[in-house]
A and B are shown apart, each in its own frame.
Chain A
Amino acid sequence: MSLIIQEGGLLTILQTVDKHTDNNQKNNEYNGAVDSLSPMLANKLVGNDVHEPTLEMSGQPAVIQFTEPTIIAYSGGDFNGRVSEDDIQPNRIYHVDRGDVLSFQESTRGNRLYLAVAGGIAVEKSNVLKSGDEIIMRRNYTALHDEIFHMMSNKRKVSWGIGVYSLVEVYLSDTYHIVKRPDVPDEVYEKLEEREYTVTKEENRIQLSVEGQKIDFAGTDCVNLGVLGGVYLANNLPAIALNDFSSETELTHIGTIPSYHMHKLGQKRRGSKIKFKAIDASDAHAEAYGHYLWVNSLFKAIDYKISKELVKEKM
């Protein structure tokens, strides 16, 4: 026992970064984090492998008690938090002690946060966590973890974090690329691009529904693949598939949002605006490569800051 969920929040789930179909835990689905960039950032900050599972909390986050000291970081929506009496912010490294209670205020921007714990975490039962559930610390520590623990041994936090300005590029825009299908007429995309849509609701991790200009297009009678980021027409309005969307659907599929825009989609909430820009796959691949380079440069910057902090500590 290492972490206790005191209050479950709206939806708190242990989740992998990407979809995993090979887990051995019955009834537990690991379809990946809705915002897959944030858990990687949180993991990077605490010295974990970036693909280590994290706690995904949507809407109202959980209240969590720690039963032993550890290092944590969280990333995602703009949730300010508290550890016992201290205020904490996203994208920073914190040391928590035995008995500390972590809680969060309502987000001013964004819908989800991802909590990483140094050495990793796991669950024995359901990965959907309720009040009273326990989370196991895997304690899969590396030499880097040892150094970070040593660095944080007599302080609550480090003086730096990932600034909001560093993440603006991937989170702030309301425009979403949609990769066109060859069997959908250009007029559909023109209509889609004309107006702004407003998120009306998110069915937890399943789909985002929007309101706005209706698209009068029926498509062919076909059972489509249910794909992450797929834009389908439900009652002539776009419905965007999230990670737990059905593996197949008879809804008309009009295109797919590329992976590099799914991070910010995962932070949309009721009332958020969405605009579409239709592009070809070749443009999406150019953007995807640029995004990949940007993420790597961000990871390198975190490595540099941690190593600089470690050197400072040793001097």
Chain B
Amino acid sequence: MIFANGDKIITYQEDASVIKNIKAQYDKNGLHIENPYIGEVAFTKNTVSFYYDPVVVMENENTIEPASYIISIVEPVLDSVSGGK
């Protein structure tokens, strides 16, 4: 499950084993997410969360849905690591 966690965070929540794989990949290569809008990436046993500034995304990407924009960046990467789970 991926969702907007408030107005500044996108959180992906899954089984601990899936998050463990994602964390391993993140430690290895940063998940190859090179996006200027994504700041801190925070892990718990069951979640990985991406911090962003919605106003910057709205202004620079000319969008009123910054959460959808960030999800469109991180979701394919997470799916590829988790096997689409």
Contact = CB atoms under 8 A, between A and B. Distances in A.
Contacts of B47: 222-225
A87 to B, nearest CB: 38
A268 B55 CA distance: 26
B17 interface: no
Contacts of B3: 181-183, 281
B80 to A, nearest CB: 22
Interface in A89-111: none
A289 interface: yes
Contact of B8 (A21, A248, A259, A292): A259
Interface of A is mostly: mixed
A258 B6 CA distance: 5
B13 A259 contact: no
Given A225-B42, A289-B58, A182 B1 contact: yes
Contacts, number: 80
A312 B26 CA distance: 58
Nearest to B16: A223
Nearest to A182: B3
Interface residues of B, number: 24
Contacts of A257: 6
Contact of B44 (A182, A229, A248): A248
Interface residues on A, range: 20 to 34
Given A182-B3, A222-B13, A227-B9, A285 B45 contact: no
Nearest to A247: B42
Contacts of A183: 1, 3, 13
Given A223-B45, A225-B49, A284-B6, 18 more contacts: A182-B1, A183-B13, A222-B46, A224-B47, A225-B5, A225-B44, A225-B47, A227-B6, A227-B49, A230-B5, A255-B6, A256-B6, A257-B6, A258-B7, A284-B7, A285-B7, A288-B7, A289-B55
Interface of B: 1, 3-9, 11, 13, 40, 42, 44-47, 49, 54-55, 58, 64-67
